[in-house]
Amino acid sequence: MKLYLVQHGEAKSEAEDPQRSLTERGIDEVRNVAGVAKKMGLHPSKIYHSGKQRAKQTAEIFAGSLDRPSEATQGLNPNDEVRVWAERISMEREDLMIVGHLPFLEKLASFLMTGKETHRLVFFRYGSIVCLERKEDGGWGVRWILTPEMTG
């Protein structure tokens, strides 16, 4: 099973837009990464996002490119507890994509790979995908990372 962790695209400041929509740059970068993801044949069964505008927009771009459903779900906000999602993921057999925020994504990746949230093993970037793969022993490892700079 593969788990695609996506940090939302670059968003406007809260002062500029209280909903924190994606910037034009953020939209362009996410579209580019989603286009490469399509060429790579990514086929997550579902794309989950936090429901916050920046994550929703990012998830919708991926959903359109990958022809997959996206849905808002609880527990993916920046400071939410990762153990709930770690347990949920452990029950899954099909590839998933989670579009979210820092520090949640960093903590989730760390927890899946080491059992601790505090090891910062992966450096996320706006609009990037970190692909984790479940190993035969049930643990997780990084398969690859795709950033916007790699798409152009």
68: burial class by Cβ within 10 Å (0-12, 13-18, 19+)?
A: middle
Query: Per-residue pLDDT tens for 24-71?
Result: 999 999 999 999 999 999 999 999 999 999 999 999 999 999 999 999
The tens digit of pLDDT for each residue in 134-149 reads 999 999 999 999 999 9
CATH architecture of 2-150: 3-Layer(aba) Sandwich (3.40)
pLDDT band at 120 (very low <50, low <70, confident <90, very high): confident
| pLDDT higher than 90, residue 133 | yes
Tokens of residue 61, six digits: 């771009």
Q: Where are the domains of the chain?
A: 2-150
Which pTM was predicted?
0.97
Query: H/E element holding 46?
Result: strand 46-49
